[in-house]
Each structure stands twice: as structure tokens, then as C-alpha cells.
């Protein structure tokens, strides 16, 4: 059994206090939280605007700005050794205190959204009210249904998702309010409304794309007003009777909701949002960043690799055979998909959480593809350490995530990134609200040419 971090008693007391301290709505909660953050930012500007917190090196400029501390993102912090924390809470912490859906055990997207947006742990009643709001707002406008239905089935699902999200800006409250003239102090309230509406409509949009591409002609059911966001998403996909898949996607979407702001999709949303584009346009751009092979396609690449290994090894799957296959992959000049991370230097806590989910369900413990994932985990770190060219020889979340979807019958690889896109909206959109609440400026880094860089180095 993989070990979890121990949730400190002090943190648990604090989280419990936050959970039961209020029954306010998410809007009222933000109205209380925002002034304190605004004052914190104001004080930092006034007292420490010239304080140096890092050094710029040539490798940062020509290496994709990796590692530079140059972006404000309050919802989550990624530590190389501990992994992700959401407002100070680790993944095991969140699993202990964030409410589950009625009849379920896994934290919901609504509870993670509340935490990311307010920094507080919601009550079950608060998350259910949010679920009811999402169900009420979740239907797509007729013009958007017609638009999505007009897409050729050969158009990549991520392209369709991005186009659909962009088209939803037809109803943007922020854009309408900005055009009629509002104060900057009001920007966040209209941004919040757009973000909540977009999150509410993403399941119906993503499910419609899935049905059109993979199950044309099958009628899409209506939203269930009594289900949470993910419960409705799974129902619309056509898997509503599969409780285990629903629980898995609740965990998956909560875990993938945010991973600090420096990743390509989150950063893109922040950058486009800084131009005062509305949340629909901002997140549409983020989805296009997520569609890139170096960002959002990893779990399907893992699954392809695992299936290829399963086919080659057949029934003779041993540690020695897996080791040989790993070396074969590395010697061919390829990377081992699902291992390594741009920041992490230990096993990804999200991977551990998904592994524990698998270990708690007999059908997954007995699944050949999940057993292969587990055996690969037992061998791969040692091979990668021996190989010596990997900074982090441990698994990331993608080492498991797509394989579980495959086991439960969601076998359409190209669609996996759409599910990722539904989840990543939680963090990217909440931080658009905070960017407006804190009055963050247009993002505009200074670029230099190679000649100028050469002169700077000599100087």
C-alpha cells in the first residue's frame, strides 16, 4: 500500500473550522475574502516592490523561462518534493476534508472549485447548492448545439472543445458589462459569473462532442438536477450506470483541477485574460495550449505504450521482461511516457491517489492493464536511475490516469484530453477571477534578441 502524507492535527482543526464557519454562498464568501487579499498585495507593492527574489540566467531566457518565479498564482503551489498543495492543503488533506457527492466517497469538482476560489473548505450544503446552480445553468444554447453538430466528426475533439468554448462568449456578462462601462473594482464580479456559467456548461459541451464523434445518432439525455457536475458529465457521456467510473472521474477532475500557474494551459488563460478578454476566450486559448503533445496528451501516450508492451510480452509479463522493454524504449531514443516531471522530483501525489483508488476496487486490482502499470512502477524508477538522463525517475499522474479510463470502457484516446480540459477549468478560471479582483496588469515580459543577449553576457 502506498503511503500517504499524514494530515496534521493543526491543519485538520483549521480546515474543520473553515468548513463549518459559514453557510454563505460562494459570491458572499468571495466578497469577504477579496479585501484581505487586496490589502496583502497592496502592502507587498508598497514595502517590497524592489526586493529581489530570484536571478535571471541565460538558461532561463533560452530554456522556456523554466523555473522563473515571475507569476502570481494564489490557488496552488507545486513543491518539487511534496507535490501540489491547494491553499496549503495536500492531496491527502483534501481527500479527508473536501465533501463528496451524496452516495459517493471522492471529493467533488464543486468542493475543489470552492477551495481554489475562496481558500476555504466548503460544507456539504454549500457544494450541493453549487451543484444545483451548475445543473440549472448547464444546458447549452441552441445556437451552440447547432454549431457543434455542424463540426465534421474528423475534427479533433480538442479543436471542437476550444471552438465551442470561444463561441459561448456570445453570452459573456463580462464583455457586455465592459462595453457599457463598469468600474475596475467590479470586473471580478462579472468575471465570476462567466466562469461559473462556463464550468456549468463544459460537461454538456464536452459530452456532445463525444457523442457526435464516437456515438453518432445516439440521443443525449437531459441534465439531472439532482446530480453534481461530474455525475451529470458521466451521464451525458452515456456511462451514468457506472458508479465506479463516476467516482473515478470525480477524483480525476478534482486532482487535475489546478497545478500552479506556470503550466502552458493555465499560463495561457492568465495571459489572454490579462488583455481583458472574457473567460470564454481566455479558456478557449488555454485549451489549445493543452492540446499540444508536450502538455495534455501524456496519458494517452502512456496508454499506447503500455498496450504495445502488453501486446509484445503477451502472458509472460515479469519484472525482467518489463525491464528489457524499458531499455528497448530508451535505447530507441524515446522517453518512457508517464515518468518524469518538469518540476517534481518525487512520485506525483496525484499518481499515488489514483493508485490507492485502484487498490480499493477489486475490478481494477484484477485489471491486466492496471496490473501492468503497477509492475512497471516497481521496475521503471530503477531503470531510469541507471539510465542517468532523467531528473525525476518517478511516475507522474499520467502513468495511471488514462489506463483506468481504458479499463472502464472509455477507450477513445483522442478524447482523453477533453476530460483534462474540463478539469483544468477549475483552477484556470478561478484565477481569472482573482486576477481581476487584485487588479493584475497586462502581462508583458521583455524579450531580447540573440545579439542583445550576447552583449548582456559580455557586459
Please list the active-site residues: 295, 341, 398
Which three-class secondary structure state does DSSP give residue 76?
strand
* Backbone torsion region of residue 64, taken as left when φ is above 0, otherwise alpha when ψ lies between -120 and 50, otherwise beta: left
Torsion sign over Cα 10, 15, 16, 17: positive
Q: Which run of H or of E encompasses 77?
A: strand 76-79
86 has which bridge partners? 76, 89
Q: What DSSP assignment string belongs to 22-34?
A: ----HHHHHHHHH
φ/ψ (deg, to 5) at 25: -75, 170
State the Cα–Cα distance between residues 147 and 444, nearest whole angstrom. Answer: 34
Q: HSE of 324 in the Cβ direction (CA atoms, 13 Å)?
A: 9
The count of other CB atoms within 10 Å of the CB of residue 80 is 13
Number of residues assigned to the chain: 459
Residues 6+ apart with CB under 8 A from 417: 157, 158, 290, 291, 296, 297, 300
Determine the angle formed by the axes of helices 187-214 and 26-48, rounding to 10 degrees.
Answer: 120
State the Cα–Cα distance between residues 118 and 115, nearest whole angstrom. Answer: 5
Amino acid at each position: 500500500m502506498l503511503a500517504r502524507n499524514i494530515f496534521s492535527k493543526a491543519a485538520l482543526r483549521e480546515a474543520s473550522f473553515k468548513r463549518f464557519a459559514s453557510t454563505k454562498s460562494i459570491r458572499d464568501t468571495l466578497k469577504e475574502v477579496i479585501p484581505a487579499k487586496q490589502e496583502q498585495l497592496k502592502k507587498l507593492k508598497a514595502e517590497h516592490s524592489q526586493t529581489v527574489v530570484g536571478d535571471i540566467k541565460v538558461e532561463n531566457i533560452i530554456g522556456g523561462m523554466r523555473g522563473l518565479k515571475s507569476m502570481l498564482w494564489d490557488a496552488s503551489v507545486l513543491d518539487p518534493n511534496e507535490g501540489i498543495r491547494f491553499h496549503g492543503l495536500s492531496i491527502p488533506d483534501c481527500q479527508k476534508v473536501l465533501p463528496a457527492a451524496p452516495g459517493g466517497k471522492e471529493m467533488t469538482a464543486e468542493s475543489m472549485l470552492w477551495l481554489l476560489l475562496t481558500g476555504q473548505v466548503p460544507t456539504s450544503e454549500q457544494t450541493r447548492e453549487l451543484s444545483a446552480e451548475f445543473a440549472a445553468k448547464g444546458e447549452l444554447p441552441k445556437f451552440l448545439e447547432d454549431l457543434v453538430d455542424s463540426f465534421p466528426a474528423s475534427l479533433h475533439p480538442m479543436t471542437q472543445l476550444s471552438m465551442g468554448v470561444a463561441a459561448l462568449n456570445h453570452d459573456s456578462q463580462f464583455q457586455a458589462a465592459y462595453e457599457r462601462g463598469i468600474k475596475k473594482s467590479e470586473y471580478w464580479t462579472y468575471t465570476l459569473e462567466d466562469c461559473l456559467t462556463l464550468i456549468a456548461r463544459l460537461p454538456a459541451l464536452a459530452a456532445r462532442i463525444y457523442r457526435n464523434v464516437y456515438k453518432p445518432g445516439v440521443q443525449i439525455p437531459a441534465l439531472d438536477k439532482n446530480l453534481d457536475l461530474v455525475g451529470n458529465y458521466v451521464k451525458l457521456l452515456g456511462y451514468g450506470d457506472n458508479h465506479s467510473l463516476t467516482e473515478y472521474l470525480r477524483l480525476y477532475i478534482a486532482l487535475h483541477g489546478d497545478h500552479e500557474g506556470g503550466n502552458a494551459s493555465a499560463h495561457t488563460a492568465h495571459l489572454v485574460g490579462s488583455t481583458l478578454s472574457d473567460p470564454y476566450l481566455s479558456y478557449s486559448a488555454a485549451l489549445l495550449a493543452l492540446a499540444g503533445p508536450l502538455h495534455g496528451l501524456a496519458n494517452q501516450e502512456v496508454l499506447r505504450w503500455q498496450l504495445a508492451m502488453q501486446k509484445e510480452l503477451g502472458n509472460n509479463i515479469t519484472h525482467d521482461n518489463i525491464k528489457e522493454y524499458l531499455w528497448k524504449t530508451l535505447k530507441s531514443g524515446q522517453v518512457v511516457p508517464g515518468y518524469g516531471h518538469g518540476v517534481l522530483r518525487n512520485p506525483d501525489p496525484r499518481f499515488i491517489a489514483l493508485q490507492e483508488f485502484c487498490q480499493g476496487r477489486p475490478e481494477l486490482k484484477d485489471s491486466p492493464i492496471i496490473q501492468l502499470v503497477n509492475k512497471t512502477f516497481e521496475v521503471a524508477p530503477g531503470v531510469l536511475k541507471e539510465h542517468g538522463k532523467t531528473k525525476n525517475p518517478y511516475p507522474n499522474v499520467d502513468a495511471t490516469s488514462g489506463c483506468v479510463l481504458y479499463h472502464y470502457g472509455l477507450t477513445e484516446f483522442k478524447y482523453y484530453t477533453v476530460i483534462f480540459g474540463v478539469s483544468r477549468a477549475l483552477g484556470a478560471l478561478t484565477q481569472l477571477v482573482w486576477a481581476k479582483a487584485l487588479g493584475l496588469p497586462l502581462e508583458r515580459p521583455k524579450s531580447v534578441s540573440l545579439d542583445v543577449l550576447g552583449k548582456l553576457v559580455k557586459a
